Amino acid sequence: MSVAASRLDEPLGKVLGMRTAGGLGRLGLETVEDLLRHYPRRYGSPGEMTEIGRLVPGEHVTVMAQVRTAQVRTMRSRGGAMLEAVVTDGRDTLQLTFFAKRAGVLRMHESKLVPGRAGLFTGTVGEYRGRRQLTHPDYIIVGVDAADQDEAMLEASRPIPIYPAAASVPTWRIGRSVRTVLDPLVEEDVPDPVPEEIRKERGLPTLLEALRAVHVPDDPEDWRRGRDRMRFEEALVLQTALARRRAAREALAAVPRPRAGGRLVDALDARLPFPLTGSQREVGATIAQDLAAATPMLRLLQGDVGAGKTVVALRAMLQVVDAGGQAALLAPTEVLAAQHLRTLEQLLGPLGHGGMLGGADTATRVALLTGSQGSKARRVALAEAASGAAGIVVGTHALLSEGVQFADLGLVVVDEQHRFGVEQRDALRARGAHPPHMLVMTATPIPRTVAMTVFGDLETSLLTEKPAHRAEIATHVVPADNEAWLARAWARVREEVDQGRRVYVVCPRIDADDAPEEADALAGAPESDAGGALELDDGAGEAPKAPLASVSETAVMLGERPELAGVRIGVMHGRLAPESKDAAMAAFASGEAPVLVSTTVIEVGVDVPDATMMVVLDAERFGISQLHQLRGRVGRGSLPSVCLLVSRAEEGTVGKERLDALAATTDGFELAEKDLELRREGDVLGAAQSGGRNSLRLLRVVRDAALIDEARAVARRIVDADPELHEAPALAAAIDSWLGEDREEFLERG
Ligand code: ADP
Ligand code: MG
């Protein structure tokens, strides 16, 4: 760290004593800063000041009273211990009750609730054997927790911070520890990552002020102000880290590969069997420009499956070949690499037959390098890569780490893998004096907000248009308990069949007694706790669990439906033997068994152009992206198609909202945004965001998109003016501590 060791770095043991520090350690809190950054999860409201005589059960109140008695007892019947205290306001009495597993835990209360002492007691009024009582009240004892009665009143009127706690460390003890470390701090102790100039510009409190506001708020307005500043700080730290990375990359010199000449690109365009879509042209022009620059391109190209990314990549690769360089195309698996080779060769035709009989005179060659190929083929490919005879080399990531030599590698295209790690990038940099340009392609929709947060240092392009004329898919949500609608749905299935078309019926399970093994984990899994958040989200409100439709039961049920009399029904699931699977698919494709009841095994790779209808049972059990993929099995031909989502999800639940989103659009990116919105925040960035020391605590990529955008602009300004952050040492230090070892990889994705 470039900042002199500050009080924030002090170990908690030194400040709070080993015992308390030990408990906090179990929450992962080691230093003063850790504890101060352990923000309240939410705030309890202070109770209304009331006289004891007027207490009404169920009300949340605060009473000013004097302790009359306090006693710890062990409970023979229930085990454990309790502390009973009686307090009085001079006229009436009120009982306070605390329970604990061991009497020792209650001694702290006993030592403070000394008869004769006065205090403020806050809690919800309960009744026990006809007497009013407060169970586990919060309290402030005058002379102990507050200097005098006025201070006690002030304390009692504050919102009560409620911390993410553990059984061993209750929230009140965390609160007390926070006060112990926070109260003595002065501005000089708390270096602020947000530079003063930016703070003034945005009217933000200092870090110390914000910490006070968050931990010891006078009123709700106070903690909101503190929280907003913390959010901005998080966004700024992250975006500054990304801006520096970007600046560092831009400082590297790449070899410009301008479009000049463009013989292969033009020849390819001339022989393409289809016109490029507007989207492909636009993105192509942007990439062409990037490649012509002397700074290395790092661009993420997103486009739904079938958007036509391969052609865009090929045109970029040919531009580099035209300019005298080579390109590598990396696929996630060997099978896909081999498939790419075939596709490229087909698109190139004679343009890919360089040096061969019948090859065009401008032609280049495409080489394939995989781990499983024979040693002779491999030797040839290696030689072609090293000599430059192969303008394009296709392979898996291993291609970069295996010390494959290129004559002049100018562009690396990474297909379908947006997790392109540090090692790979380092391997690339180590390849030569000049890092190659890089194009990363993905069909997994990464919403803009996430791309900005996680991939803030790379440029993104989107292929919005789909090339082939795709048929419309109408999607409807059908309530599972509406027999009339269901009958109509099965009648519709019959109509499709009678017109010679095919229908999928998708179920979440195979047999009646199966777990829903195939359902998307997102749909049914318990939501993870985002931790450290200042707000509690409401529960997702999933539909109550009723028996889920299974393939075997549904096939029998459909066989008995009058609407489907005489229609052959096939079944398909992952447990069938390969021959049975093939037979089922063949019977379905040929129309012999035009209705196929299946699990989600049909999600990928199944292509039956005559399939025009899909019925998904218990649709709320599946995640948005999974349903989107499933739905992609219909509407593949030119016939308009329909998708029915049968569901028990109640109006107003997240499950229902997911289905409504699917009914509203077939745009994969829009759906991904919606998905993100509906998910609990902790899932968004995976482990990177949930818990851990150096994680995003308050920032949420969807909710805070605008804030992240602003922080990004501010970050670029800061880095442009002061790349080494000499003027902002606390910001530099925050980045260092945020970028723990593991965080580095998180940033390097892409
Ligand atoms: P993806 O983006 O999923 O990688 P592909 O590049 O594999 O998509 O393209 C899907 C199909 O669309 C391929 O058969 C490809 O030849 C075809 N295609 C690409 N661009 C166009 C276009 N402009 N017009 C018609 N078909 C196209
Ligand atoms: Mg592809």
Average pLDDT, the chain: 82
The percentage of the chain sitting over the pLDDT mark of 90, rounded to a whole number, equals 44
> So what's the pLDDT on residue 144?
83
Residue 506 has pLDDT above 70, yes or no: yes
Mean pLDDT of 212-235: 93
Rg for the chain (alpha carbons), in Å? 32
- Candidates 315, 323, 329; CA nearest to 255 is 323
Residue nearest to atom 5 of ligand 1 (CA): 308
Above 80 in pLDDT, residue 53? yes
Residue 345 has pLDDT above 90, yes or no: yes
Residue 48's DSSP bridge partners are 61
Distances (CA, A) of 467 to 217, 307, 323, 387, 531: 57, 6, 28, 37, 44
- According to the model, what pLDDT value does residue 45 have? 77
Instruction: Determine the pLDDT at residue 682.
Output: 37
What spacing in Å lies between the alpha carbon of 372 and ligand 1's midpoint? 28
pLDDT band at 690 (very low <50, low <70, confident <90, very high): very low
pLDDT computed for residue 198 by the predictor: 96
Query: Ligand 1 atom 22: the closest Cα is on which residue?
Result: 467
Which ligand neighbours the alpha carbon of 464 most closely? Answer: 1
Distance 344 CA to ligand 1 centre (A): 12
365-369, 609-613, 627-631, 655-659: range with lowest mean pLDDT: 627-631
At 10 the pLDDT is 93
Q: Check if the beta carbon of residue 283 is closer than 8 Å to that of residue 276.
A: no
Q: What's the CA gap between 97 and 88, in Å, rounded?
A: 14
Give tens-digit pLDDT for 61-96. 888 899 999 999 888 777 789 999 999 998 999 999
User: Interhelix angle for 668-678 vs 654-664, to 10°?
Assistant: 170
Of 363, 365, 257, give the one whose Cα is nearest residue 319.
Answer: 257
Picking from 600, 439, 423, 432, the residue whose alpha carbon sits closest to that of residue 520 is 600
Per-residue confidence at 742, pLDDT binned at 50, 70, 90?
A: very low
**pLDDT band for position 669 (cuts 50, 70, 90):** confident
Distance 14 CA to ligand 2 centre (A): 57
743 pLDDT more than 60: no
Identity of the highest mean pLDDT range in 119-128, 302-311, 531-540, 719-728: 719-728
Tokens, residue 425: 């990038």
Name the residue with higher pLDDT: 662 or 546: 662
Q: How far apart are CA 389 and CA 395, in angstroms?
A: 16
How many helical (H) and strand (E) elements, i.e. helices and strands, does the chain have?
27, 22
Tell me the two tokens of residue 16: 């709070």
Q: Which two tokens stand for residue 181?
A: 């470390």
Q: Which residue has the tokens 């061969």?
A: 356
Q: Say how far apart CA 666 and CA 656 lie, in whole Å.
A: 17
706 Ramachandran zone, left/alpha/beta (phi>0; psi -120 to 50): alpha
Report how far residue 220's alpha carbon sits from residue 215's, in angstroms, rounded to the nearest whole number.
11
Torsion of CA 420, 423, 424, 426, to 10 degrees: 120
Asked whether residue 578 carries a pLDDT value surpassing 80, the answer given is no
Specify the pLDDT at position 329: 95
* pLDDT per residue as tens digits for the range 147-163: 888 888 888 888 888 88
Q: What is the 3-state secondary structure (H, E, C) of 503-543?
A: EEEECCECCCCCCCCCCCHHHHCCCCCCCCCCCCCCCCCCC
Please state the rounded mean pLDDT for residues 588-599.
94
Residue bearing the bigger pLDDT, 291 or 26: 291
- DSSP-assigned letter for residue 348: H
Query: What confidence tier does 310 reach under pLDDT thresholds 50, 70, 90?
Result: very high
Please report the pLDDT score of residue 531 as a whole number.
Answer: 27
The secondary element (H helix, E strand) that includes residue 282 is helix 278-292
Ligand 1 interacting residues, C-beta cut-off 6 A: 274, 276-277, 280, 303, 305-311, 443, 467-468
Write the secondary structure of 9-70 as one string of H (helix), E (strand) and C (coil): HCEHHHHHCHHHHHHHHCCCCCEHHHHHCCCCCEEECCCEECCHHHCCCCCEEEEEEEEEEE
The 10s digit of each residue's pLDDT in 434-460 is 889 999 887 766 666 566 665 566 778
Q: Above 80 in pLDDT, residue 745?
A: no
Tokens 């606390």 — which residue? 730
Pair of tokens at residue 396 = 């898996």
- Reference 322, options 393, 263, 256; nearest CA is 263
- What integer pLDDT is reported at residue 226 of this predicted model? 95
Reported as a pLDDT band with limits 50, 70 and 90, residue 541 is very low
Sequence-distant (6+) residues with CB within 8 A of 661 are: 624, 671, 674, 675, 678
Give bridge partners of residue 396 from the DSSP assignment. 331
Rounded CA separation 23/38 (Å)? 14
Instruction: Please give the average per-residue pLDDT across 27-39, as a whole number.
Output: 91
pLDDT at 707 over 70: yes
| 647 neighbors 658 (Cβ within 8 angstroms) | no
The neighbour count for residue 35, using CB atoms within 10 Å, is: 24
Rounded Cα gap, residues 80 and 189, in angstroms: 43
CA 447 – ligand 1 centroid, Å: 22
Task: Assign 629 a pLDDT band (cuts: 50, 70, 90).
Answer: confident
Return d(Cα 146, Cα 192) in angstroms, integer: 29
CA atoms within 13 A on the CB side of 93: 12
Does residue 529 register a pLDDT over 80? no
Q: Average the pLDDT over each of 157-171, 581-595, 668-682 and give the range with the smallest value.
A: 668-682
475 has pLDDT over 80: yes
Give the model's pLDDT for residue 455: 58
How far apart, in whole angstroms, are the C-alpha atoms of residue 518 and residue 573?
10
Residue-level pLDDT at 374: 82
Closest residue by Cα to atom 23, ligand 1, is 276
Instruction: State the pairing for strand pair 569-572/595-598.
Output: parallel
Half-sphere exposure of 644 (CA within 13 A, CB side): 22
For range 111-122, the mean pLDDT: 91
Q: In this structure, which residue's CA is closest to atom 16 in ligand 1? A: 308
- Residue 666 has phi, psi (to 5 degrees) of -110, 10
Distance (angstroms) between ligand 1 centre and the Cα of 310 equals 7
CA–CA dist 595, 591 (Å, integer): 8
> Which listed ligand is nearest to 332 at the C-alpha?
2
Mutate to test the pocket of ligand 1, among 274, 301, 317, 343 (most ligand atoms within 8 A of CB): 274
Please, are residues 270 and 314 in contact by the beta-carbon 8 Å criterion? no
Q: Which residue has the higher pLDDT, 240 or 521?
A: 240
Nearest protein Cα to ligand 1, atom 10:
306
Handedness of CA 734, 739, 743, 749 (dihedral sign): positive
Residue 539: partners with Cβ closer than 8 Å, 6 or more residues away: 527
Distance from Cα 307 to the centre of ligand 2, integer Å: 8
State which of 403-417, 469-483, 500-514 shows the largest mean pLDDT: 500-514
Among the bound ligands, name the one nearest to the CA of residue 275: 1
Ligand 1: nearest atom to the Cα of 311 = 6
Residue range 719-744: average pLDDT?
A: 81
Instruction: State the helix-helix crossing angle for 220-251 and 729-738, rounded to 10 degrees.
Output: 90
Which two structure tokens, joined as six digits, stand for 719? 């880095």
Integer Cα distance of 235 and 746 in angstroms: 15
Helix axes 741-748, 220-251, angle to 10 degrees: 70
DSSP state of 293: S
143 DSSP assignment: T
User: DSSP state, 517?
Assistant: T
Q: Is the pLDDT of residue 716 over 60?
A: yes
Tell whether the model's pLDDT for residue 4 goes beyond 70: no
pTM here is: 0.61
Q: Nearest C-alpha to atom 18 of ligand 1 is from which residue?
A: 308
pLDDT class for 426, splitting at 50, 70, 90?
Answer: low
CA distance 303 to 441: 8
Maximum average pLDDT range among 38-52, 194-208, 592-606, 730-744: 194-208
| Banded model confidence at residue 357, pLDDT cuts 50, 70, 90 | low
Structure tokens at 401: 């780490």
Domains of the chain: 1-45+158-189 (no CATH), 50-156 (2.40.50.140), 264-291+307-442 (3.40.50.300), 473-665 (3.40.50.300)
**If we measure between CA atoms, which residue out of 251, 233, 338, 353 comes closest to residue 294?**
251
Q: What is the spatial distance between Cα 631 and Cα 665, in angstroms, rounded to a whole number?
A: 12
Please report, for residues 4, 33, 207, 236, 362, the alpha-carbon distance to residue 188 in angstroms, rounded to integers and kept in the order given.
Answer: 11, 14, 11, 21, 68
How many whole angstroms separate alpha carbon 29 and alpha carbon 165? 11
Give the number of residues written for the chain: 750
Going by C-alpha positions, the residue among 18, 19, 13, 23 that lies closest to residue 174 is 23
3-class DSSP state of 636: coil
Task: Decide the pairing of beta strands 81-88 and 93-100.
Answer: antiparallel
Nearest residue (CA) to ligand 1, atom 27: 467
